[in-house]
Amino acid sequence: MTPFARPYGRRTFFARERPLAMPSLCVFGAQWGDEGKGKIIDHLAADVTHVVRYQGGSNAGHTVVVGAEKYVLHLVPSGVLHPGKVNVIANGVAVDPLLLLEEIDGLIARGVAVSSANLRLSARAHVILQHHRRLDALAERWRGEGRIGTTGRGIGPCYADKAARVGLRVCDLLDPARLESGLRVALAEKNALIQSVHGDTPLDLGEQLDLYGRLAERLSSFVGDTGAELRDAHRAGAAILFEAAQGVMLDVDHGTYPYVTSSNTGVDGIPAGVGFPPQWIGRAVGIAKAYCTRVGEGPFPSEEHGPRGAELREAGNEYGATTGRPRRCGWLDVVALRYALELNGATSWIMTNLDVLSGLGDVPVAVAYRREGRRFETFPAELSSLDAVEVEYEHRPGWTEDLTGIRRFEDLPRAARNYVEWVEASVRVPIETLSIGPRRDQVIHRS
């Protein structure tokens, strides 16, 4: 076999003999989450065969508006709202079976078809159990002033157990003997922690077994080897959309650690979180708002603490889709955005919520940080540097016109066009689409 021969069939890498594989696409959040990924993924889902969630869990809240209906999806990929698409919850997702089934039931009750034909769940995905949720809340209380501001959905404790090799996976849930022994061992340790360290009431093994036994039965039809299914689909020419949750600035390796979530939130999460070779990921497109928001604690250099921050929050209805918490608001940060796009090799990006800036006066944009007399345009690793930076802003002229009905870039007010072009030049990655409202049709494609 030559080094270029493929291990299956007689196919080789030579162009003429290449299988019919379509390039796949990753859509990721290029800020601190809540960039409006749900709407964009829903928009792109129309043109693909598969939509795949590969990290995070029900901490995500992807809002999609279809006609007069508004859906908030936490675990189910946004492609479910398009008939005929295969939606995959891959192995890298932390799956809360209780919330997943609630979400499936809620969708079915609203007339959305959900069955094993259009929703697949990885047997290898780790499961969020009741003790993970309980420990998430207790650990936050324990941290006091140093709390992360998590969503309380058990994400951190579940991924911690995965890394510590004591987690339970979906395949364990389906096997009554493994579920029994796994839960027994887990609860022995977690209950000791809950009681002795946190002084809280322990969980009852019998109740938990009963609950997860019932949930497993209902979930079983969705379960499979989703990595193998996706690799096969890719070879057969499928167009796969990888839907990231949260944002790159919350990535456990590249974000503002420790004020991050517990997974890899960019393209980096795909190979491990799906079982999909990195060479097969065709393109990465970042999503970023025309300004910035963050929920939870942690550094946010361009945060607007004054009344203009509150004005942005109201104009953009910036309240968490999962927790309802008011989001911290501030201005677009070119330093952080350039870092996020570069890390992921983004060839283009999509700017959302441009309409929100209408009527808000001039638009400040963070272009550099200064510390101890030094100016820098790269994102620092240490929190101490971030806490101490002074932000250098460039003030761009604002506009007052309503943008929500505009569909062509040339029809935007001159100041809005200038803003987009100036940001694009500063970030050095082209903007392919603008989103100017929550509805599916409220987009402006640029040539």
59 binds ligand IMP (CB under 6 A): yes
Q: How far is CA 92 from CA 40, 74, 129, in A?
A: 22, 15, 16
Q: Counting contacts by CB under 6 A, is residue 130 touching ligand IMP?
A: no
Q: How far is the CB of 257 from ligand IMP (least distance, A)?
A: 11
Residues in contact with 105: Cβ distance below 8 Å, sequence separation at least 6, in sequence order = none
Can you say whether the dihedral through the CA atoms of 267, 61, 128, 179 is positive or negative? negative
* Closer of 148 and 434 to ligand IMP (Cβ): 148
CB of 64: closest distance to ligand IMP in angstroms? 14
User: For residues 51 and 241, is the Cβ–Cβ distance under 8 A?
Assistant: yes
CB of 134 to ligand IMP, least distance (A): 14
Chain residues 27-46 in contact with ligand IMP, contact rule CB under 6 A: 33-34
* Among residues 45, 250, 350, 434, the one that binds ligand IMP under rule CB under 6 A: 250
Q: Which stretch binds ligand IMP (CB under 6 A): 244-252, 280-288, 363-371, 427-435?
A: 244-252
- Among 155, 267, 356, 357, interactor with ligand IMP by CB under 6 A: 155
Q: Which one, of 334, 288, 290, 297, lies nearest residue 312 by Cα? A: 290
Within residues 260-299, the interface with ligand IMP by CB under 6 A covers: 261-262, 295-296
Could you tell me the two tokens for 361? 């006066």
In angstroms, the CA 381 to CA 378 distance is 10
Report the C-alpha gap between 303 and 280 in whole angstroms: 37
34 has catalytic annotation: yes
Decide if 62 is catalytic: yes
> Is 60 among the residues that bind ligand IMP (CB under 6 A)?
yes
Q: Does 227 bind ligand IMP (CB under 6 A)?
A: no
Which of 62, 126, 132, 254 is flagged as catalytic?
62
Take residue 259 and report the two structure tokens written for it: 């004020």
Q: Which is nearer to ligand IMP, 60 or 270 (CB)?
A: 60
Region binding ligand IMP by CB under 6 A among candidate stretches 4-12, 145-153, 161-169, 311-319: 145-153
H helices of 236-363, in order, are 270, 307-315, 334-343
92: contact with ligand IMP by CB under 6 A = no
The closest residue (CB) to ligand IMP is 296
Q: Which of 433, 378, 330 is nearest to 441 (CA)?
A: 433
Preceding peptide of 258 cis, ω within 30°: yes
Instruction: Choose the catalytic residue: 34, 42, 251, 268.
Output: 34
Longest Cα separation, the chain = 67
Helices (H), 114-168: 130-143, 155-163
Catalytic residues: 34, 62
- The site for ligand IMP (CB under 6 A) is made up of 33-34, 59-61, 148-151, 153, 155-156, 245-246, 250, 261-262, 295-296
